[in-house]
């Protein structure tokens, strides 16, 4: 028996050695054969092949390569400053002096800015933004976030210990999702996500080996949400997944809808019925434009519903990247937990401690948002004027986009009630669909790539966000400044009419 086992082990050793040699034939330890397969299968359409081609076109234009357009317009991503939005003065004054405290001696810096800076630096090690903060964030900033949530929701005091600061909302979202990676039951944990959805969720679900459970928003009803669809989605998911989480994006990305309170109450009751953890992505809470629309936080509605709903587990997220701030590159965000199991919360904080902390400058920007100028303070007038101007301009562009796309034959577009995007449906001719299939491409990808090559306008095909089978969409931001927006829409309309004529 010993001899037999030794022979088997020898054969295994030879096989393993051969496999290692084959894997490292190109001299690399990490090869496509040994790469994590979930990294290979994850996709993130917002920065996908069309965007890569847009960057190449920019470089070609810079080198004098002739094109039928003079510039590339990137309407693919919600990056306000890249689209020409100016920074809010108060935010940048605080940020500048936090980074360079020598500015505190300047007579040009308003006293309320100096007070904010001194408070933030007072919470930093060595009174410097160059020091690590606690993994959970600078305590005084967490306190200000808690006070902001209390004011916003008009409720009871919020415990700052339930607030965790992070590098944008995305980092917190991924950290919460990571808690659910558990296959001990033999099945993947299912995450209910809206379809269309923001690709952060589908990409992270794939990367983490979780299960995507799509529920369709109702395009015929301004991208509203029907309880029957939630029930259908949940019940079907149980054939494959152990579904434990429902994700809500409100205001919506990519669809731009704003959920009425009644809809939120329905979702909370549904989650309670099926014992689901709620993840409320609320990063666009400042971006509400449509008459009659209003942002209601899940935390506020859940708590106002009383027992047993106010005992439900909830994680809600906010960010400095959107709203009127648009400070995408500074990476500031937070998650607030409600009713999380105390022992699980200890594990969560242990997990994030391995990453040390999010950028302290990003945390400082969070502070400027939740602790902005108050009426009567020196910075208030300019801050309010700039904030109101940004939001008014976004509202104007939201109406412009809806009207422009809605007036083009072959396209239907719901009102942009909030957020920063429109998600129009393209009614593609059968000939165009067949041409796309012949190239092994999704029809809306085929359309979007031709739009880019013909006009320099970069949009994201709806297939990157998931959509109802047999329908085709694209996401476009409302962020280009008015003059650039009109240029973009002119280019788009001209292309679309030629495209439809060619494939009719």
Residues 285, 293: Cα–Cα separation, whole Å: 11
Asked whether the predicted pLDDT for residue 5 surpasses 50, the reply is no
pTM of the model: 0.85
Rounded mean pLDDT, 196-207: 88
Residue 7's pLDDT band, with cuts at 50, 70 and 90, is very low
Using the predicted structure, report yes or no on whether residue 44 has a pLDDT greater than 80. no
Ranking 13-17, 196-200, 249-253 by mean pLDDT, the lowest is 13-17
Q: How many CB atoms lie within 10 A of CB 27?
A: 6
What is the reported pLDDT for 298?
A: 95
Are 456 and 481 within 8 A, CB to CB?
no
pLDDT of residue 210: 93
pLDDT at 3 over 50: no
Domains identified in the chain and CATH numbers: 45-84+384-503 (3.90.1150.10), 88-129 (1.10.287.1970), 132-370 (3.40.640.10)
Pairing state between β 474-477 and 421-422: antiparallel
Which token pair is 335?
């998650």
The residue behind tokens 């998911």 is 237
pLDDT band at 34 (very low <50, low <70, confident <90, very high): low
Residue with tokens 């008459």: 291
Q: How confident is the model at residue 316 (pLDDT cuts 50, 70, 90)?
A: very high
pLDDT digits (tens, 9 = 90+) for 80-125: 888 788 999 999 999 999 999 999 999 999 999 999 999 999 998 9
Find the DSSP H helices in 63-198. Answer: 89-99, 111-122, 139-153, 168-178
CB 296 within 8 A of CB 332: no
- What mean pLDDT is predicted for residues 431-438? 92
Q: Which of 58-67, 231-240, 348-357, 382-391 has the lowest mean pLDDT?
A: 348-357
Average pLDDT, the chain: 87
User: What sign does the dihedral 169-171-172-173 (CA atoms) show?
Assistant: positive
CA–CA dist 150, 368 (Å, integer): 16
pLDDT at residue 442 greater than cutoff 50: yes
Mean pLDDT is lowest, of 19-33, 201-215, 220-234, 394-408, for: 19-33
Residue 194's pLDDT is 94
Instruction: Tell me what pLDDT residue 476 has.
Output: 87
Mean pLDDT of the 487-502 span: 91
Q: What angle do CA 13, 19, 20 make, to 5 degrees?
A: 90
Length of the chain: 504
Cα distance between residue 253 and residue 276, in whole Å: 22
> In this structure, are residues 200 and 466 in contact, taking their beta carbons and an 8 Å threshold?
no
Cβ burial, residue 363 (10 Å; 0-12/13-18/19+): buried
The beta-carbon contacts of 12-15 under 8 Å, at least 24 apart in sequence, are none
CB atoms within 10 A of CB 400: 16
**Confidence class of residue 353 from pLDDT cuts 50, 70 and 90?**
confident
Give the pLDDT of residue 22. Answer: 47
Task: Give CA 385 to chain center in angstroms.
Answer: 27
**Least confident interval from 146-155, 157-166, 351-360:** 351-360
Is 47 buried (19+), middle (13-18) or exposed (0-12) by CB count in 10 A? middle
Sorted by sequence, the CB contacts under 8 Å of residue 308 that are 6+ apart come out as: 272
pLDDT per residue over 370-404, tens digit each? 999 999 999 999 999 999 999 999 998 888 888 88
pLDDT given for residue 4 in this prediction: 40
Number of neighbours of residue 190 by Cβ within 10 angstroms: 24
In this prediction, residue 78 carries a pLDDT of 77
Task: Yes or no: say if 251 and 418 are a contact pair by the CB < 8 Å rule.
Answer: yes
């Amino acid at each position: 028996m010993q001899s037999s086992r030794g022979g088997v082990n020898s054969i295994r050793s030879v096989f393993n050695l051969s496999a290692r040699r084959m894997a490292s034939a190109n001299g690399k330890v990490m090869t496509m054969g040994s790469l994590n397969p979930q990294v290979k299968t994850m996709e993130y359409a917002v920065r996908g092949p069309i965007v890569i081609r847009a960057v190449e076109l920019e470089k070609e234009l810079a080198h004098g390569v002739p094109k039928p357009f003079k510039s590339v317009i990137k309407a693919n991503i919600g990056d306000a400053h890249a689209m020409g939005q100016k920074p809010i003065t108060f935010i940048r004054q605080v940020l500048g002096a936090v980074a360079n405290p020598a500015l505190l001696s300047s007579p040009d810096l308003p006293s309320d800015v100096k007070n904010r800076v001194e408070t933030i630096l007072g919470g930093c090690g060595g009174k410097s933004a160059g020091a690590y903060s606690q993994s959970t964030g600078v305590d005084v900033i967490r306190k200000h976030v808690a006070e902001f949530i209390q004011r916003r929701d008009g409720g009871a005091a919020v415990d700052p210990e339930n607030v965790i600061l992070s590098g944008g909302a995305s980092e917190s979202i991924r950290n919460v999702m990571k808690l659910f990676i558990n296959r001990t039951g033999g099945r993947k944990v299912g995450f209910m996500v809206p379809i269309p959805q923001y690709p952060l969720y589908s990409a992270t679900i794939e990367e983490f080996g979780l299960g995507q459970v799509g529920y369709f928003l109702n395009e015929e009803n301004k991208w509203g949400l029907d309880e029957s669809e939630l029930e259908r989605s949940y019940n079907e998911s149980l054939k494959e997944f152990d579904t434990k989480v429902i994700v809500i994006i409100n205001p919506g990305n990519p669809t731009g809808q704003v959920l009425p309170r009644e809809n939120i109450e329905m979702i909370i009751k549904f989650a309670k019925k099926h014992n689901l953890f709620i993840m409320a992505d609320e990063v666009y809470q400042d971006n509400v434009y449509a008459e009659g629309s209003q942002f209601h936080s899940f935390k506020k509605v859940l708590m106002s519903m009383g027992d047993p709903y106010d005992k439900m587990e909830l994680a809600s997220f906010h960010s400095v990247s959107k709203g009127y701030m648009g400070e995408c590159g500074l990476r500031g965000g937070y998650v607030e937990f409600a009713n999380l199991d105390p022992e699980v919360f200890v594990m969560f904080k242990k997990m994030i401690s391995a990453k040390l902390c999010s950028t302290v400058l990003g945390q400082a920007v969070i502070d400027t948002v939740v602790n902005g100028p108050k009426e009567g303070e020196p910075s208030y007038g300019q801050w309010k004027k700039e904030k109101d101007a940004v939001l008014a301009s976004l509202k104007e562009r939201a109406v412009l986009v809806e009207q422009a796309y809605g007036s083009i034959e072959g396209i239907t577009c719901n009102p942009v009630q909030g957020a920063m995007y429109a998600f129009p449906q393209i009614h593609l001719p059968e000939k165009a669909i067949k041409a796309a299939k012949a190239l092994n491409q999704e029809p809306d990808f085929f359309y979007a790539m031709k739009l880019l090559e013909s006009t320099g306008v970069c949009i994201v095909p709806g297939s990157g966000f998931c959509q109802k089978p047999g329908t085709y969409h694209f996401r476009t931001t409302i962020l280009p400044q008015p003059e650039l927006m009109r240029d973009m829409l002119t280019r788009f309309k001209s292309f679309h009419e030629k495209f439809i004529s060619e494939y009719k």
